[in-house]
């Protein structure tokens, strides 16, 4: 029952590829290993489903790490994604810093409408069908009725990256492709927290947000919250800088970004009297107990003198023990490399096979960049695959 077009993986990239194939008049078969489609997309909905960002297409695309992917993202950028979601009956709103969400802050209504449209367009979805490698010129698939060998004219692979494997993207495909000459970069966590070996004193602050700080790494400064947990630090401010920090850049924290160093020095020069240094810091510049605890945690042994203390408050080194594991990361870096792909996202080693979404070697911050790039690359692969038929 293989038609001429096969899409493997029913996440946002694969659904979009299937949509374009169907729009071009083909009736693609879309196979998905899990019992239901788009589990990671639904998980993204639990935090509101940040679909895209209200910013200029070129600026938006520039945040994608891979230059070769940027024209593809520009061709289906934030404006197009918003129109696409609205076309599925979803009203959207622009939240803080331009992030675009469905008004309901959920993925399920959008997914339901999308699946309904795909069904009406002639896309056949088969769940519980797991691709498990190549068999000669065919693709071997385990189905609930036993193994099958599919021999489509074109295939779009959209199997996802390597984070949250329990949602389906387990990267089991890497050896199947590398055996066929497709180069893949090792997967690494992206948009993840960092492990901290806290002293016991920090336990009382676990679960608390750290607000009103500036974080700096690799020359980039962001002002965003993060959260302390028994495992370490995580949250928006950390994810934003997680790529350079993962790659070895030091991360520093400005605990008082609204006061300059001279003002901090002036306040710290007030007489300390018999107060402990902790109390002196609290009364002069760090009233927030969480910030004070972080200062004492990462600043010790504290330098002497108000000027040196002020300098440390402005650039406190974050002492971490490396990234949290890939399985916990929001997304992954690594995957099929640019030199294994044509501009059309066709695998050079496997003509007629295209790839899209997070299985390709690119990364981007949170903020809607991930979903938009997956939708855009799935669309591109689907359009090109359709032209081959």
Ligand X SMILES: Cc1cc2nc3c(=O)[nH]c(=O)nc-3n(C[C@H](O)[C@H](O)[C@H](O)COP(=O)(O)OP(=O)(O)OC[C@H]3O[C@@H](n4cnc5c(N)ncnc54)[C@H](O)[C@@H]3O)c2cc1C
Q: Which residue ranges make up the site for ligand X (CB under 6 A)?
A: 8-14, 31-34, 39-41, 43-44, 47, 49-50, 130-131, 158-160, 163-164, 168-169, 172-173, 330-331, 357-358, 368, 370-371, 374
Residue 310: CB minimum distance to ligand X, A: 38
Residue 34: CB minimum distance to ligand X, A: 4
Residue 176: CB minimum distance to ligand X, A: 9
Residue 309: CB minimum distance to ligand X, A: 39
Residue 159: which of 2, 1, 6 has the closest Cα? 6
- Which residue, 299 or 367, is less far from ligand X as judged by CB? 367
Residue 95: CB minimum distance to ligand X, A: 11
Residue 258: which of 307, 213, 224 has the closest Cα? 213
Token pair belonging to 90: 């979803």
Residue 200: Cβ within 10 Å count: 6
Residue 258: CB minimum distance to ligand X, A: 29
122, 24 contact by CB (below 8 A): no
- Which residue, 9 or 152, is less far from ligand X as judged by CB? 9
- Which residue, 169 or 242, is less far from ligand X as judged by CB? 169
- Which residue, 31 or 313, is less far from ligand X as judged by CB? 31
Count the alpha carbons within 13 Å of 246 in the hemisphere toward its beta carbon: 21
Q: Mind giving me the DSSP string for 143-196? A: ETTEEEEE--SEEEE----SSSGGGT---TTHHHHHTTT--EEEEEEES--EE-
Token pair belonging to 182: 């497709």
- Which residue, 10 or 316, is less far from ligand X as judged by CB? 10
Q: Which residues, 6 or more positions from 263, have their beta carbon under 8 angstroms from its beta carbon?
A: none
Kindly state the DSSP code that residue 360 receives in the 8-state scheme: B
Residue 304: CB minimum distance to ligand X, A: 45
- Which residue, 214 or 333, is less far from ligand X as judged by CB? 333
Residue 352: CB minimum distance to ligand X, A: 18
- Which residue, 193 or 368, is less far from ligand X as judged by CB? 368
Q: Mind giving me the DSSP string for 66-88? A: -GGGHHHHHTT-HHHHHHHHHHT
Residue 389: which of 103, 26, 18 has the closest Cα? 26
3 state SS for 268-284 = HCCCCCCCCHHHHHHHH
What torsion do the CA atoms of 53, 59, 65, 68 make, to the nearest 10 degrees? 120
- Which residue, 39 or 291, is less far from ligand X as judged by CB? 39
Angle at 388 between CA 385 and CA 389, to 5 degrees: 100
Residue 19: CB minimum distance to ligand X, A: 13
- Which residue, 132 or 272, is less far from ligand X as judged by CB? 132
């Amino acid at each position: 029952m293989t038609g001429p077009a096969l899409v493997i993986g029913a996440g946002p990239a694969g659904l979009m590829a299937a949509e374009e194939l169907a729009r071009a008049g083909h009736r693609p078969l879309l196979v998905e290993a899990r019992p239901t489609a788009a589990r990671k997309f639904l998980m993204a909905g639990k935090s509101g489903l940040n679909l895209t960002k209200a910013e200029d297409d070129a600026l938006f695309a520039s945040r994608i790490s891979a230059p070769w992917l940027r024209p593809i993202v520009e061709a289906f950028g934030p404006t197009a994604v918003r129109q696409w979601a609205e076309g599925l009956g979803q009203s959207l709103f622009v939240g803080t810093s331009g992030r675009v969400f469905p008004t309901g802050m959920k993925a399920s209504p959008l997914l339901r409408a999308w699946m309904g449209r795909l069904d009406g367009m002639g896309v056949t979805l088969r769940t519980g069908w797991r691709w498990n490698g190549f068999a000669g010129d065919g693709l071997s698939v385990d189905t609930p009725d036993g193994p099958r060998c599919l021999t489509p004219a074109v295939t779009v692979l959209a199997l996802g990256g390597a984070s949250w494997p329990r949602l389906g993207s387990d990267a089991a495909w890497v050896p199947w492709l590398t055996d066929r000459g497709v180069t893949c970069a090792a997967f690494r966590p992206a948009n993840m927290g960092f492990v901290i070996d806290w002293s016991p004193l920090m336990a009382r602050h676990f679960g608390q947000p750290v607000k009103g700080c500036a974080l700096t790494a690799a020359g980039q400064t962001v002002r965003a919250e993060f959260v302390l947990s028994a495992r370490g630090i995580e949250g928006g401010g950390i994810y934003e800088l997680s790529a350079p920090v993962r790659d070895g850049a030091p991360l520093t924290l400005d605990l008082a970004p609204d006061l300059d160093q001279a003002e901090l020095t002036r306040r710290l020069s007030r007489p300390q009297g018999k107060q402990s240094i902790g109390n002196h810091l609290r009364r002069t510049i760090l009233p927030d107990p969480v910030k004070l605890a972080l200062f004492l945690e990462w600043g010790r042994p504290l330098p002497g003198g108000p000027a040196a203390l002020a300098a440390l408050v402005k650039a406190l080194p974050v002492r971490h023990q490396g990234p949290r594991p890939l399985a916990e990361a929001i997304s992954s870096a690594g995957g099929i490399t640019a030199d294994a792909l044509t501009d059309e996202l066709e695998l050079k080693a496997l003509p007629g096979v295209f790839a899209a979404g997070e299985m390709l070697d690119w990364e981007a911050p949170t903020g809607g960049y991930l979903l938009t790039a997956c939708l855009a690359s799935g669309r591109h692969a689907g359009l090109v695959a359709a032209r081959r038929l």
